[in-house]
Amino acid sequence: MKKNLLLISTSSTHGTGYLEHCEEEIKALLENKKSILFIPYARPGGISHTDYTAKASEAFARMGVALTGIHETADPVAAVQQAEAVFIGGGNTFLLLRQLYANKVLAPLQERAEKGMPYIGTSAGTNVAGKTIGTTNDMPIVFPKSFDALQLVPFNLNPHYLDPEPNSTHMGETRETRIQEFHVHNRQPVVGLREGSMLRVTGEKLVLKGPLSARIFLQGQPAMEFKPGDDINFLMEAY
């Protein structure tokens, strides 16, 4: 079986509804699947798991797919093992990873996704598909057992990647600076995914989707820009 992943920078882009901008890619990924398991663990508050699941359910209902929240199941591990597909939504990446460990679903998710179960992530859900969560933009509001994530791809991700504003007077670090700091101590590549962009993984083939280029960082090298259609498969050979 081949990996079947869709790693999306954000669940909504400016002027679009929840998952609207990536709906066609989601439908292509799911093909004839009729159900999907939703993992809402990333939400730290302000919206309950029930409300978050209802929002996701509405979006997937448009696509003819029935969605169930993992918190609604009696056994989270069994739910992952039996799922036709999995969607992990956005929120706080540290909280998400802590809950994946706490509910003992990290390893089952990894095993199922490696064997071809369709996996969709947005924002935090995309972060945890990478090697570690060391390049998330989120604050560490909780401490997970480890920063090691699902490792479905051999690189890290930075969803919601932002370029510096040319006329800004902000004196803090840019995203690029912070990723360069990460590379002082870590060697895996980092993909900066701008909002509206997504990565499609089929087996060991990696394709950039969406209207924008991605900014790719390799340890000790200048940052590079790759457009949709460019060959970025070298990232799948990282170690």
Instruction: Please tell me the distance from the alpha carbon of residue 41 to that of residue 148, in angstroms, as a whole number.
Output: 17
Paired strand residues for 73 = none
Q: Specify burial of residue 49 (Cβ count, 10 A radius: 0-12, 13-18, 19+).
A: middle
pTM beyond 0.85: yes
pLDDT for position 68? 98
pLDDT for position 122? 98
| Residue tagged active-site, from 9, 11, 138, 197 | 138
In degrees rounded to 5, what are phi and psi of residue 87?
-125, 125
pLDDT for position 12? 94
User: How many Cβ atoms from other residues are within 10 Å of residue 17's Cβ?
Assistant: 13
Let me know if 123 is a catalytic residue: yes
Let me know if 138 is a catalytic residue: yes
Q: pLDDT tens, 51-86?
A: 999 999 999 999 999 999 999 999 999 999 999 999
pLDDT for position 171? 66
Let me know if 160 is a catalytic residue: yes
Q: What is the 3-state secondary structure (H, E, C) of the chain?
A: CCCEEEEECCCCCCCCCCCHHHHHHHHHHHCCCCEEEEECCCCCCCCCHHHHHHHHHHHHHHCCCEEEEHHHCCCHHHHHHHCCCEEECCCCHHHHHHHHHHCCCHHHHHHHHHCCCCEEEECHHHHCCCCECCCCCCCCCCCCCCCECCCCCCCEEEECCCCCCCCCCCCCCCHHHHHHHHHHHCCCCEEEECCCCEEEEECCEEEEECCCCEEEECCCCCCEEECCCCCCHHHHHCC
Instruction: Please tell me the distance from the alpha carbon of residue 15 to that of residue 29, in angstroms, as a whole number.
Output: 24
Distance of CA 148 to the CA centre of its chain: 14
| Residue tagged active-site, from 11, 21, 71, 160 | 160
Q: Which of 81, 94, 82, 85 is nearest to 56 (CA)?
A: 85
Residue 76: C-alpha distances to residues 5, 30, 37, 200 (Å): 21, 21, 10, 26
pLDDT in tens, the chain (239 residues): 699 999 999 999 999 999 999 999 999 999 989 999 999 999 988 889 999 999 999 999 999 999 999 999 999 999 999 999 999 999 999 999 999 999 999 999 999 999 999 999 999 999 999 999 999 999 999 999 999 999 999 999 999 999 988 777 776 789 999 999 999 999 999 999 999 999 999 999 999 999 999 999 999 999 999 999 999 999 999 87
| Residue tagged active-site, from 9, 11, 123, 197 | 123
Domains along the chain with CATH numbers: 4-160+194-212+228-237 (3.40.50.880)
